Chain A
Amino acid sequence: MNKEKLKVDPIKNGTVIDHVTAGKALKVADILNIENSTKEIMIGLNLSSKKMEKKDIIKIENREISKQEANSIALISPTATLIIIKDYKVVKKFGIDIPKEIKQHIICPNSHCITNHEQVKTRFILAGKNPIEVRCAYCEKKYFIDEVKFSF
């Protein structure tokens, strides 16, 4: 048994989110709203990785993360891989695409933006990938992803 397996137990059914950008797992957990979940969840921070220098990992029992939820994670951790497990076997494995348009989840940091004044869902357009930049479809201001707050 190698060291990594010792660190994080396998799950029977559910989702493993691997290769999460180191230090971002708690934010990802927040986005997926798993802190209020009663399911079994394991979170590993700053684990050593062959692909990345360090990575985080999240294992969620009995929950299959949807494509839309995965896209939300992409903004925080574009490197993440999702692995769907059934009966201890990998049934699906996919990297996540950064969506071209993000509806509703980003709060515009511009206090003069209409989205902070009227009942309107925010809409952001992907403006750069490395690092990730988004542009508000309303006030047209551009922000690095680290500059914005989320609501899910």
Chain B
Amino acid sequence: MKHLISMQDVSTKDIMKLIDLADKIENKKINVDMTGKLAALLFFEPSTRTHFSFETAVKKLGGNTFSMSGTNSTSVKKGETLSDTLMTISMYADLIVMRHIIEGAARFAAETVDVPVINAGDGTNQHPTQAMLDLYSIKKTQGTLENLTIGLIGDLRLGRTVHSLSQALSDFNTKFYFASPSHLQMPKYITDDLDKKGIQYQELEDIKEVMHELDIMYVTRIQKERFAVLEDYEKVKDSYIITKKLLEGVKNNFKVLHPLPRVNEITTEVDNTKYAYYFQQAKNGVYMRQAIITELLNLKY
């Protein structure tokens, strides 16, 4: 792997290799050395969480960072092309981590510069490090990625996280339940791909009836703004809020995942149950990003 741009480019073998590496880093079985290397964290679209996670990952490896958040005080504001910005930055940095609102910007970056590029989110398209940390979290909690039953709930139409994740899991014989309001369903291009691979999935408006079957429930936020009429939102919002009561009778190995930030879609009473895993999931993100950087920079350990 030279870059990490899209889960479409990541093979099952790559996934297993990165999970193994993240596990070794987390459990201190290896000691990776990034001393003397510099990562440029270019967040053309600001993001606190992913930005901090990458910064933590680089620093824990012994590397250093320089950052950009938003484009207000940069040459981009003066009209510099993305290509020129990237070329210049690549003269300084050993690695570029980039988030951009324009879809395909990360692929373009990887084709423009000689240093490795990590896509930290490109518009509504891909967020592969999130998908990888989700896979790591699933593997850690279930012991396997094979033959699991996974419910994805919330806004499945616009959430790039659930798109990348369902694509990545489709090679592991997953059985999916997709629960969303009818106008926020999983896009057809995703379900078409699942059909082609012969993956079982069912689209529901309410997750209640299948809770006892699930190994993992992956929750995403439904934004009020996605509804033209506020009344429509009020009607459905309770169906997509995870409460302690909803979790009665779930499997023993069941876990709730969420890419965060959470607003009200998981009640705080769930946080204290053994099923809540979203904060550990965020922590796993640091180990997985350390693993990805180690692999792309071919760091010694």
Do these two chains really belong together in a complex?
yes
Residues of chain A at the chain B interface (Cβ within 8 Å): 110, 112-115, 117-120, 136-142
Interchain CB contact (< 8 A) of A140 among B81, B101, B104, B105: B104
Within 8 A of A (CB), among B90-127: 101-105, 107-108, 111, 122-126
Minimal beta-carbon separation of B47 from chain A (angstroms): 17
B83 & A139 in contact (Cβ 8 Å cutoff): no
Given contacts A138-B107, A140-B126, A142-B189, contact A114 B8 (CB under 8 A): no
Interchain CB contact (< 8 A) of B103 among A118, A119, A120, A138: A138
Minimal beta-carbon separation of B156 from chain A (angstroms): 17
List 5 contacting pairs A-B, 8 Å CB cutoff, sorted by A: A112-B103, A114-B82, A138-B107, A139-B104, A139-B125
A-B contact sample (15 more), CB < 8 A, given A114-B82, A138-B108:
A112-B102, A113-B104, A114-B103, A114-B104, A114-B105, A114-B107, A115-B104, A118-B82, A120-B108, A139-B104, A139-B125, A140-B103, A140-B104, A140-B125, A140-B126
B108 & A140 in contact (Cβ 8 Å cutoff): no
B102 & A113 in contact (Cβ 8 Å cutoff): yes
Rounded to whole angstroms, the CA-CA distance of A68 and B86 in the bound complex is 33
Closest residue of chain B to A139, judged by CB? B103
Taking the complex as formed, is B220 at the interface, i.e. its CB lies under 8 A from any CB of chain A? Answer: no
Rounded to whole angstroms, the CA-CA distance of A136 and B102 in the bound complex is 14
Taking the complex as formed, is B50 at the interface, i.e. its CB lies under 8 A from any CB of chain A? Answer: no
Closest residue of chain A to B188, judged by CB? A142
Within 8 A of A (CB), among B58-91: 81-83
Given contacts A110-B103, A114-B102, A114-B104, contact A140 B83 (CB under 8 A): no
A140 & B6 in contact (Cβ 8 Å cutoff): yes
B126 & A114 in contact (Cβ 8 Å cutoff): no
Given contacts A110-B103, A112-B123, A140-B6, contact A118 B189 (CB under 8 A): no
The 5 closest A-B CB pairs, nearest first, are: A138-B104, A139-B103, A114-B104, A139-B104, A114-B108
Minimal beta-carbon separation of A146 from chain B (angstroms): 16
Closest residue of chain B to A120, judged by CB? B108
A117 & B102 in contact (Cβ 8 Å cutoff): yes
Minimal beta-carbon separation of A132 from chain B (angstroms): 14
* Residues in chain B near residue A113, CB distance under 8 A: 102-104
Given contacts A110-B103, A113-B102, contact A118 B125 (CB under 8 A): no
Minimal beta-carbon separation of B38 from chain A (angstroms): 25
Closest residue of chain A to B8, judged by CB? A140
Name the residue among B82, B83, B104, B107 with the largest chain A CB count within 10 angstroms.
B104
Name the residue among B6, B81, B105 with the largest chain A CB count within 10 angstroms.
B105
* Residues in chain A near residue B102, CB distance under 8 A: 112-114, 117
Rounded to whole angstroms, the CA-CA distance of A120 and B107 in the bound complex is 11
Name the residue among A110, A120, A140, A141 with the largest chain B CB count within 10 angstroms.
A140
